[in-house]
Chains A and B, each alone.
Chain A
Amino acid sequence: GNSVTQMEGPVTLSEEAFLTINCTYTATGYPSLFWYVQYPGEGLQLLLKATKADDKGSNKGFEATYRKETTSFHLEKGSVQVSDSAVYFCALREGSGTYKYIFGTGTRLKVLA
């Protein structure tokens, strides 16, 4: 079946460091891909999305490119801030007229001042 695999956390970085959180997926058809973020004490929020191969989603300095050849959707940010500390979830929405979402297990990011 379809699945999403994320790198295990926690990831601890110093402020202004470069961030990469790896995400790979297994899916039939052409899924849409998403990154959600969960800040402490808050609900999940959509961070960015990409709906087809080679699309790049971006928001708040974060970017991810839909790579069909490597079935990946890695999240990157050039310079993280303390306020980026959160749990990040990679997710896919199955294509072909179905709208089931599959989430990864989440990666906790801690940014130190």
Chain B
Amino acid sequence: DAGVTQSPTHLIKTRGQQVTLRCSPKSGHDTVSWYQQALGQGPQFIFQYYEEEERQRGNFPDRFSGHQFPNYSSELNVNALLLGDSALYLCASSPSWGDDEQYFGPGTRLTVT
């Protein structure tokens, strides 16, 4: 049973560029959340998707957007990258909307130069 998978593993971008990160949830899970984890910090909630809609959002600007597909996989898009966007981006899936259990992927390390 595959867990949560994320791609790519590492990414280097230049300021002002755009980036797309991808996540496949654990089999049987329909809810996907995205987090940003800066070095030495805890994960910060970006947003959560269920039934292809953004259901909850944290304190992140509109440059951060997402999408969920009918197969429950998800993308995180960040426009106009800033140096401060350099972080580990984590995807977590849950069996269903409102479920406490979250299963995290290994993350995508984004470096903005």
> Does A81 reach chain B (CB closer than 8 Å)?
no
Question: When chains A and B are docked, how far (Å) is the Cα of A36 from the Cα of B45?
Answer: 15
Contact residues of B between 83 and 113, Cβ < 8 Å to A: 90, 92, 97-98, 100-107
CB neighbours of B41 from chain A (8 A): 105-106
Question: Do B42 and A106 touch (CB < 8 A)?
Answer: yes
Query: Any chain A CB within 8 A of the CB of B16?
Result: no
CB pair B4 A89 closer than 8 Å: no
Indicate if B15 sits at the interface (CB-CB under 8 A): no
Known: A99-B56, A103-B44. A45 touches B100 (CB 8 A): no
Total chain B interface residues with beta-carbon distance under 8 A: 26
B→A interface (CB under 8 Å): 3-4, 33, 35, 40-45, 48, 55-56, 58, 90, 92, 97-98, 100-107
Closest 6 pairs (CB-CB, A-B): A103-B42, A43-B104, A44-B104, A43-B106, A103-B43, A105-B42
Chain A residues within CB distance 8 Å of chain B:
4, 32, 34, 36, 42-46, 49, 51, 89, 91, 93, 98-106
